[in-house]
Amino acid sequence: MAETRKNLAELDPVWAQLVEEAEKAVKDEPLLGGLIHSSVLYHGSLKRALSYRISMKLASGDMPEQLIREICDEAHDSDPSLELAARADIAAVFDRDPACHRFLQPLLFFKGFQAVQAYRVAHWLWNTGRKDLAYFLQMRVSEVFSIDIHPAAKIGKGLMIDHAHSIVIGETAVVGDNVSLLHSVTLGGTGKEDEDRHPKIGNGVLIGAGAKVLGNIKVGNCSRIAAGSVVLTEVPAQKTVAGVPARIVGEAGCDQPAITMDQVLKSGP
């Protein structure tokens, strides 16, 4: 067992850390032993743990846990980038959310992380032509987590959604790598056009709580959108926008606003 754990640590330090944290958590809170064993310690890899956790959260009378688990396993086995993105997402939550103190927390408790991993499976289904099944997963994610991400949307790795309630990401939206979103963010369209109609969010962008970004517009890399803003026009890279409608109010304040999570608008010299 010790040799197996050593090999795991060398091959996948994120999974090794999860296992170590899970073992300690069982000792600290035995009442959660069943949950932690079934969700982490029973499995041999992060992708299998993800499949199990997603299936347990999204199972319903229409689709039992075992079928959803088989779908998730198929997706992860066919596309290793799903597991790579999940590792980046866990690290992003740990690095940026001050309420997250262990890798274990997103996997077990944080609905933003869980919803994004379910979206990644739905996106794989969409790209392989299984659109009705992708819509089903989107529906269940919306019902269970109050997060609505269209399976056709394109989302990069290292995404952190804090609190996550009432997130909406539309069909033709694109979200880059290392982006941070707070609750009640909408990446939506304007009107009924059936074409490319949703925002394109660059890498390293921070979008504050309640912000609405509407239409086929670009939000430049490492920019900031202040809480409650309504963005209707393009946002240049490394700028801060605020207001209704949003206007440029200054620089982004740092090189990587999505990582620092600094949402304070500074005035004066």
Q: List pLDDT tens digits, range 205-257.
A: 999 999 999 999 999 999 999 999 999 999 999 999 999 999 999 998 778 88
Confidence label for 11 from pLDDT (cuts 50, 70 and 90): low
Helix intervals (H) in the chain: 2-11, 13-28, 33-36, 46-58, 65-78, 81-96, 104-109, 111-127, 131-145, 257-260
> What residues pair up with 214 in beta bridges, in sequence order?
188
Is pLDDT at 5 greater than 80 in this prediction? Answer: no
Q: Give pLDDT, residue 52.
A: 98
Q: Give pLDDT, residue 73.
A: 98
Look at the alpha carbons of 143, 145, 151, 153 in this order and tell me if their dihedral is positive or negative: positive
CA distance 84 to 125: 17
pTM of the model: 0.91
- pLDDT tens-digit series, residues 45-82: 999 999 999 999 999 999 999 999 999 999 999 999 99
CA distance 117 to 191: 29
Q: Give pLDDT, residue 262.
A: 76
Q: Give pLDDT, residue 8.
A: 43
> What residues pair up with 230 in beta bridges, in sequence order?
212
- pLDDT tens-digit series, residues 138-177: 999 999 999 999 999 999 999 999 998 999 999 999 999 9
**Omega cis (within 30) before 245:** yes
Q: Which of 226, 185, 219, 227 is nearest to 203 (CA)?
A: 219
Going from the C-alpha of 65 to that of each of 51, 57, 59, 60, 178, the distances in angstroms are 10, 8, 5, 7, 31
Confidence label for 269 from pLDDT (cuts 50, 70 and 90): very low
Q: Give pLDDT, residue 268.
A: 47
Q: pLDDT averaged over the chain? A: 92
Confidence label for 1 from pLDDT (cuts 50, 70 and 90): very low
Q: Give pLDDT, residue 10.
A: 52
CA distance 80 to 200: 25
Assign 236 to helix, strand or coil: coil
